[in-house]
Amino acid sequence: MTLGDLIEATFLGLIEGLTEFIPVSSTGHLLLVGHFLGFESSGKTFEVLIQLGAILAILVVYSTRFVDVAIRLPTDPQARRFVIGIVVGFLPAAVIGVLAHGFIKRVLFETPALVCVTLILGGVVLLIVDRLRLPQRHHDAMRLSPLMCFGIGCCQAVAMIPGVSRSGATIVGAMLMGVEKRAAAEFSFFLALPTMAGAFTYDLYKNWSLLSADDGLLILVGFVAAFCAAVLVVKTLLDFVARHGFAPFAYYRIAAGVLGLLGLWLVG
């Protein structure tokens, strides 16, 4: 392992933290940037395991609210409804992730052109949905019904395809179901916790034997960088969305996808 490897791990960790909770596909960015940098991780585990930094960022920023939910859980039906909704919303991604894990890692993660195409298509969808005059019946991300959470979770499962964006699919699904933009973005934070924790745990279990001490150090470096960047994003994203919507992210996705395809064509 060289200093260059550590710098690349730091850079990729920052990308993970900056893009995990905005609808531009953090995994897609990591795969594309890693491809152009020539960065290779054992079993593509680095790209999944550094997500733990983003998970901890959510826990830190929302610690007071989560502690309050935990305290009220035994006596407050609304607190229990929130927890049930998150669990139900997580199930579609969990089932598909387990059943298709091998195909996702061996095929989808190894196809950078697919990432570029899904970035572009996802950007078009996000732009269309952002401009629609959708009804906004739900303004509290912690008061969605379990049925709505399941529907949003089914949308999230589409993001098993790299480049789609977990947060983007979740936000689009929530908005189509009448959730206000800010609340949709916040719900994507909450649903990320079990989804990313599950992906981390399952990927670590499947690839533990492939990891070396050098891999562990690179993952640690990427984790710290991802945590620092994700805290910044989580603290600022909701206000940005309230002012500007999701159109800036849609345009960025389309541009990134086009540039990615151009780059792949130039390098052959």
Each residue of 220-247: pLDDT tens digit? 999 999 999 999 999 999 899 989 999 9
From the list 207, 188, 193, 167, the residue with the least C-alpha distance to 47 is 207
Higher pLDDT pick, 212 / 262: 262
From the list 28, 30, 154, the residue with the least C-alpha distance to 96 is 154
| Lowest-pLDDT range of 71-75, 144-148, 173-177, 205-209 | 205-209
pLDDT reading at 268 higher than 70: no
Residue 71: predicted pLDDT: 95
Boundaries of domain holding 123: 3-267
pLDDT reading at 120 higher than 90: yes
**Number of domains the chain is built from:** 1
pTM for the whole structure = 0.91
Residue 44: predicted pLDDT: 72
pLDDT bucket at 43, cuts 50 / 70 / 90:
low
Mean pLDDT for all residues in the chain: 91
